[in-house]
Amino acid sequence: MQNNVLILDFGSQYTQLIARRVRELNVYCEIHPFNKIPKDLDSFKALILSGSPYSVREADSPRINLDILLSKFPTLAVCYGAQLIAQEMGGVVSASNIREYGRANLVIKKNDSILFDGIENNNQVWMSHSDTIKQLPKNSLLLASSDDVENVAYKYMDNTYCLQFHPEVYHTVKGKKLLENFLTKISKLKQTWTPDSFIDSTIQELKTRIGNDKVILGLSGGVDSSVAAILLHRAIGKNLHCIFVNNGLLRKNEFQDVLDQYKELDLNIRGVDYSEEFYNELADVSDPETKRKIIGRVFIEAFDKESSKIKNVKWLAQGTIYPDVIESISATGGPSATIKSHHNVGGLPDFMKLEVIEPLKLLFKDEVRRVGRSLNIDKNILGRHPFPGPGLAIRILGDINKENVEMLQEVDHIFITALKEANLYEKIWQAGAMLLPVKSVGVMGDERTYEKCVALRAVESTDGMTADWVDLPYKFLQDVSNKIINRVKGVNRVVYDISSKPPATIEWE
């Protein structure tokens, strides 16, 4: 890749955000754990050190060989990275008298600094640390302070810039400009990482790697697998064989609707219905992680059965994207805490004997959509909300059966249709309905009812790592609630979820 920036992750919650901001500036970057530094350092041209939940004062806090890295690359060190350089190079880091978290006012000391070129004084920045740099190391130059912190930004030696604040977060007003200064003026990188450049290089790479081999791809109807399919189709044409498995857990009419859309794209695709197999395996299963594992296993069995009908296949393509990859390891190089299992990460069972190809594994979700637009993929496909791999199974809390699935499909259909009719759908990152494992008393006409409750959920986000609930108009929610209760037999109560992520997750299971 061109213009590589190496981002070393010490475990910060903002590391992915650093990468996304760099990519937004049309510069390619990669995230690697601090203790799994790539051997081929010559392929990188600049270095960014992330923040961390650790303190540099702790004996077991992350360490790297700074002498080698700082002498090799222009470096931007953020928060923990800035403290690590200060401490390792002879400065002093100590606990802050108060935890420095939140908005702060930046006072630039050296206006001739390239890093702050074009950035006026007294700008808002975002702090997030409990240690502070009391004394700078030798060969350092103070660049900026805040009202409460003296050593907020400094330059070490000739080409290393250190910040106590986070330029990657929205609340640092000129953070993007600062990153651009580091990338283009200090590191001398060109802003050539664009959707078109990615498409050209990826198609050429796919042609070279695959040759005349056959590839199978399990399409889901989502953005990622759709963009992966079109890229592969452009590279190898009819040697791409797409299989769309109906697990019985899709949205209402989605199997046929999506199948029709794909055929319009001239893809070599076959739809197969395995609904009954999934229902049988999920009968009486309520544990969410067990559901996911069953759905993953049955999908692989179904996919293997159908793919075996295609002779001489050598490759399996997947729509894996970059957050799937980097979430699978932590900053210490081990497995990250399991919140929920990803349905498309972890390789293949041995019996499939196929090599995996993942054309989107370097892209974030917003980049996938930009690539899709450059490929002229229908906006109805690109604009589709993310939908969980296990489908409605993890939106039905409790047992899975055909009756519950059809009930939730109707509720979801009313909700999503209403969002589209009210011109709200495209303003929302993800929306859906959950069928809860509780019944409540209601009154319909003169009769008492004892029926199910559904929860509606709509969130705004950029990549799903964090999300906030959408403040939908009360009148809209009132109308949707009335339609659901009046039209869906078995539901007599509708609630709206106003939880953010974190602490909640977007899905309920």
Residues labelled catalytic: 79, 166, 168
Measured CA to CA, the distance from residue 135 to residue 151 in angstroms comes to: 8
For residues 49 and 15, the answer to whether their CB atoms sit within 8 Å is no
| Contact call for residues 31 and 16 (beta carbons, < 8 A) | yes
Q: Give the whole-angstrom CA distance, residue 363 versus residue 346.
A: 18
- Give how far Cα 449 sits from Cα of 24, 205, 406, 439, 452, Å: 53, 61, 20, 9, 10
Collapse the DSSP code of 40 into the 3-class scheme (helix H, G, I; strand E, B; otherwise coil) and give the result.
Answer: coil
For the chain, the maximum distance between any two Cα atoms, rounded to a whole number of angstroms, is 83
299 C-beta neighbours (distance < 10 Å), count: 20
**In Å, what is the CA distance from 211 to each residue of 104, 153, 316?**
55, 51, 14
CA-closest candidate to residue 142, choices 122, 125, 156: 156
CA-to-CA distance for 339 and 493, rounded, in angstroms? 29
Three-class HEC string of 434-488? EEEEEEEEEEECCEEEEEEEEEEEEEECCCCCCEEECCCCHHHHHHHHHHHHHHC
Alpha helical stretches, state H, 283-401: 288-307, 322-327, 365-374, 379-382
Provide CB contacts within 8 A for 410, sequence distance 6+: 252, 487, 488
Q: Do 364 and 20 contact (CB within 8 A), yes or no?
A: yes
Beta-bridge partners for 356:
316
C-alpha–C-alpha distance, residues 426 and 411, integer Å: 19
CA distance 385 to 408: 17
AA letter at 315? W
Q: Which tokens is 406 given?
A: 């059809």
Number of continuous H segments (helices) and E segments (strands) in the chain: 14, 18
Strands 355-357 and 313-317: parallel
- What is residue 174's DSSP assignment? T
